[in-house]
Amino acid sequence: MKYVKKLAVAAGVFLLPAIASAQYSITNSTSLFSAVLNIINSIIPIIIALAVIFIIWYIVMSFTTNDETKRGTAHIHLLYSVIGLFVIVSIWGLVNILVGTTGLNNTPTNQIPNVTQLNNGSGI
Query: What would the pLDDT profile of 39-67 be if each residue is shown by its tens digit?
Result: 777 888 888 888 899 999 999 998 898 89
Q: For residue 107, what pLDDT is reported?
A: 56
* Cβ-based neighbours of 58, under 8 Å, separated by 6 or more: 74, 75, 77, 78, 81
Q: For residue 25, what pLDDT is reported?
A: 66
> Could you tell me the CA-to-CA distances from 73 to 3, 34, 57, 99 in Å, in that order?
17, 41, 12, 39
Cα 59 from Cα 51, distance rounded (Å): 12
Q: For residue 99, what pLDDT is reported?
A: 77
The verdict on pTM exceeding 0.85 is: no
- Statement: residue 29 has pLDDT above 60: yes
SS3 114: coil
State the maximum Cα–Cα separation within the chain, in Å, rounded to a whole number. 85
Hey, what amino acid is at 52? V
Q: Is 6 or 58 the better-scoring residue by pLDDT?
A: 58
Give mean pLDDT, residues 84-113.
75
Cα 58 from Cα 73, distance rounded (Å): 9
